Structure 1
Amino acid sequence: MSTLFRVTLLGTGVPIPRPDRFGPSTLIEAGEQTVLIDAGRGATMRLFELGVPIGRINALLLTHFHSDHTVGIPDLWLTGWLSSHFAARKGPFHVIGPVGTSTMMRHLEAAYAPDIEIRVEDEKLARENVAITVDEFASDGPVYEAGDLRIIAFAVDHGEAIKPAYGYRIEYRGRVAVVSGDTRYNENVVRYGRNADLLIHEVAMARPELLVIPHIQRILNHHTSPQEAGRIFARTTPKLAVFTHLVMLASETTSPPCVEELITATRETYAGPLEVGEDLMSFHIRDEIAVRRWTVSRQADARKTVRAPP
């Protein structure tokens, strides 16, 4: 069996339709298993850029039901069903998520029933390969196990009205990656993220002049500030901390904070290894974590190795 354990940020953005930061989605490759956490806008295009066949995805895991995390599901599901080399899924589309996932997927099946019937008749596509299987969960614990890969869901706090909301701990051959999901500062992230090789966390910030605006306040109250994220990183001591889902707020007259400001704010509470995620940035987890970045033209342009502490 392959010992590959690699995490790739397919999308690091938010609902803003920016071409450089697609919707939230994270690719996990562990041995022979390939899974996604969330399917935001453009997830299938990022997979295509990587050369990962859409039909090769073993499972899609959902953190919560906000549209920016789920809008790419129909594309992943239906495009992965096509006969072409970049798709060609064999077997049902497997979705794992909190209670409510079955309802969402059932409605998607109803919405796309005409397309499915047309393609079965016209393209002779196998109906069993567009079927959907759903596994739901309602509490912390293992939700996916295959070979040496084990994925554990844990509840997080994205706000009183935004429930359920979960993060994931991914374990493979003694190595651990953790994805926070959308959350405020939360002790469960500390519990499940302690001593991880890789801890991927969301973050939100805005310039001071925007903090008096009600809708900006509401958004920030549902996310983790750089200083709070820094405290989580300091308490969990990952080999590498990474930001994704960058909620960098702005207005028509006020620009969003820049990456340098994000790093400076995080350094108020955390001094360890840190990366600000970019689309298609990947992390190869071994004794050392190899970080790979991509340019806009999607050519690998830099490599960096994070050494494990002695």
Structure 2
Amino acid sequence: MKRFLLSLLAVVALVACAAFFFRTPLSLMLAKKAAAERLAYDAMNELPDGLHVGLCGAGSPFPDDKRSGPCTLVVAGKRLFIIDTGSGSARNIGKMGFQHGRIEAIFLTHFHSDHIDGMGELMLQRWGTAANTSPVPVYGPQGVDMVVNGFMQAYRQDSQYRVAHHGEAAVPSSGFGGKPMPFTPGADGRVVVLKDGGLEITAFTVDHGPAHPAVGYRFAYKGRSLVISGDTKKSAAVQREAAGVDVLVHEALSTPMVGILKDGAVKAGRMNLAKIFDDILNYHASPEEAAETARDAKVGYLLLNHIVPPLPLPGMEKAFLGKAPEIYNGPIRVGIDGDFLSLPAGSTEIKVGRRF
């Protein structure tokens, strides 16, 4: 036995030495295989027909290792849509296994910087990775043209460099950037912005003043439905649109936790930050208020996003929720980047998972 163990140790040591000395060619060989598989992979091909919603950004303007800037991904059948384009959107969409070139349209809820600051990168990836010949439609309330055209101007020289370097076949100049698609909700505060192929997308006004206009979105496809609240205080409009939906994706801010930040800012003598921490309380909904909306609308699942403030320590998610689980007795989750829910057509099932 002793001789056997010594021989085994010698073999292990030999293998370890070989792996060390040949690590460069081995890593390149693995990278070659992984590159081919990764570039060919498309998560859309493995999803069943139905509605699917994922968090490509569950956070806010606060730096958060688990939550990038606001971004929600929706798949209806084989159609890919993005709602808001916070920082990290493009990278997280790729990490989730979706191909940027397949993005059919972008929808903006409002024009706060954290909801749009990743748009330039996302438009670039959508154009350059698939040789798209037309710009991506960007839907939003009045003012969306100023936002899209501003990014187009900022990226204009970059696009010219790329066309000159790679050529029209690889990066058609006609596909650069985005095309603003402004809309105005009607007297009832809502407007259908896209309806075809069994899919209906409705925008509705929410209250995020003084950020105005601000909207949420309702997606309906083959008997499944979901609502994305956008940034808003507790809203009767969200409850109306969310009535009976399978999933409500609702923003949430913890008043007690933001209060801790305010107190810290006061003690540090940073009074401008203390003022900001105090101000943000009046145009966001708390987890408990989101739970009240989910309960009263009788939704099937409550997924919280736009999480404020960050939750870096174990146990903080329970504190963040407060009394929300006592208010809404359905499933509730404090979202993080990569969360993914599937709503197969022809069923009432809600499959909960993660894409990374």
Name the TM tier (shorter chain). 0.7 to 0.9
8 Å CA contact 1:169, 1:179 repeated in 2: yes
Cα distance in 2, alignment partners of residues 221 and 121 from structure 1: 49
Q: 1:246 to 1:131 in 2, by over 3 A?
A: closer
Distance apart, 1:272 and its partner CA: 2.2
Q: 1:136 to 1:264 in 2, by over 3 A?
A: same
Asked whether 1:163 is paired with 2:212, we answer yes
Matches within 5 A, 1:101-112: 101-112=144-155
8 Å CA contact 1:93, 1:133 repeated in 2: yes
Q: 1:214 aligns with which of 272, 275, 284?
A: 275
Structure 2 partner of 1:178: 227
8 Å CA contact 1:55, 1:90 repeated in 2: no
Identify unmatched segments of 5+ residues in structure 1: 299-310
Asked whether 1:281 is paired with 2:327, we answer no
Distance apart, 1:210 and its partner CA: 5.1
8 Å CA contact 2:229, 2:251 repeated in 1: yes
Structure 2 partner of 1:194: 243
Distance apart, 1:131 and its partner CA: 4.9
8 Å CA contact 1:33, 1:146 repeated in 2: no
Q: Secondary structure at the match of 1:221?
A: helix
Q: 2:204 aligns with which of 147, 151, 154?
A: 154
Task: Return 161-170 or 42-51, whichever deviates more.
Answer: 42-51
8 Å CA contact 2:123, 2:177 repeated in 1: no
Cα distance in 2, alignment partners of residues 214 and 3 from structure 1: 48
Q: 1:271 to 1:156 in 2, by over 3 A?
A: same
Cα distance in 2, alignment partners of residues 248 and 17 from structure 1: 9
Larger strand fraction of residues: 1
Structure 1 partner of 2:85: 39
8 Å CA contact 1:216, 1:249 repeated in 2: no
Distance apart, 1:138 and its partner CA: 1.4
Identify unmatched segments of 5+ residues in structure 2: 1-47, 264-273
Distance apart, 1:256 and its partner CA: 11
Asked whether 1:143 is paired with 2:193, we answer yes
The count of corresponding residues between Structure 1 and Structure 2 is: 288
Distance apart, 1:255 and its partner CA: 8.2
Q: Secondary structure at the match of 2:323?
A: helix
Distance apart, 1:263 and its partner CA: 2.8
Q: 1:292 to 1:129 in 2, by over 3 A?
A: same
Query: TM-score, normalized by length of structure 1?
Result: 0.87
Greater C-alpha Rg? 2
Q: 1:54 aligns with which of 82, 91, 100?
A: 100
Task: Return 2-11 or 23-32, whichever deviates more.
Answer: 2-11
Structure 1 partner of 2:330: 272
Cα distance in 2, alignment partners of residues 260 and 282 from structure 1: 21
Larger helix fraction of residues: 2
Asked whether 1:117 is paired with 2:176, we answer no
Q: Secondary structure at the match of 1:169?
A: strand
Q: 2:296 aligns with which of 226, 232, 235?
A: 235
Q: 1:107 to 1:78 in 2, by over 3 A?
A: same
Output the amino acid matched with 1:244: N
Distance apart, 1:271 and its partner CA: 2.2
8 Å CA contact 1:35, 1:57 repeated in 2: yes
Distance apart, 1:16 and its partner CA: 1.9
Output the amino acid matched with 2:202: I
Using the aligned pairs only, state the percent identity. Answer: 34
After the TM superposition, list the runs of 4 or more consecutive aligned residues in structure 1 that deviate by more than 4 angstroms: 208-213, 254-257
